[in-house]
Amino acid sequence: MGKRAIIELRGIVKRFYIGTPNELTVLNGIDLTVYEGEFVAIVGQSGSGKSTLMNIIGALDRPTEGEYTLDGVNIIEAKDAELSGIRNRKIGFVFQTYNLISKTNAIKNVELPMLYAGISGKRRTARAKELLTLVGMEKRMKHLPEELSGGQKQRVAIARAMSNEPAIILADEPTGALDSGTGRMVMDLFHKLHKEQGKTIVLITHSPELADETERVITIKDGEILGERRGMGRNVNI
């Protein structure tokens, strides 16, 4: 392909309740490479293992076996403190439930990862304003999450995910809590970030229709990759 690999998973196994009668293998030998600038979907039904795989890709959990390199860093050998920094700087998370801080306005929510990264207040505010404008939330910067619609909350969450210029954006069912029209707006925003900013995006979804909009669709079932295919992609002008 010629592009640099951002995510490299080799032989990833994840077991729970190890050594007990209830021992459960959720991931069973996952091999996956995602390249810089790709928009990839991981699709599967509930119980397929896709959420566990997302937690491992996001360095939120460690595999039982296997190798994982993220943007040149060996995640398996990284200490917990190092992983915390990797999650903050290399990965932008977008969750189904938004995960915004309720008592804090949109601009402060977007600033938060930059605060943890040690970026000065003036730079944080300037960057947060720039990102909120990018996602069409320039008129809602001072609003609290409770004053925003679901789609607006998700736009703030996407702006926050981009605050530290992460190597990848990891989106877990980002339209799952939204009606179809609002979900369409959020997906269009991901396409815009991918097309105009060259962002590497990994979309976790149970929806084959959403998965089809990406460049590459990876299907997971019973903890194994069933196969992959080219997606249809989508041309978006917003």
Q: Could you report the per-residue pLDDT of 203-222, keeping only the tens digit for each?
A: 999 888 889 999 999 999 99
pLDDT for position 1: 46
pLDDT greater than 70 at residue 37: yes
Over residues 190-194, the mean pLDDT reads 91
pLDDT greater than 90 at residue 237: no
User: DSSP alpha helices (H): ranges in 26-104?
Assistant: 50-57, 80-90
User: DSSP alpha helices (H): ranges in 30-179?
Assistant: 50-57, 80-90, 106-116, 121-134, 150-161
CB burial readout 68-77, b (16+ within 10 A) else e:
bbbbebebee
Q: Taking a C-beta distance cutoff of 8 angstroms, is the pair 67, 50 a contact?
A: no
Q: Using CA atoms, how far apart are residues 66 and 83, in angstroms rounded to an integer?
A: 17
Place of tokens 């938004």: 98
pLDDT greater than 50 at residue 77: yes
Q: Could you report the per-residue pLDDT of 144-189, keeping only the tens digit for each?
A: 999 999 999 999 999 999 999 998 999 999 988 888 888 888 899 9
pTM for the model stands at 0.90
pLDDT for position 231: 86
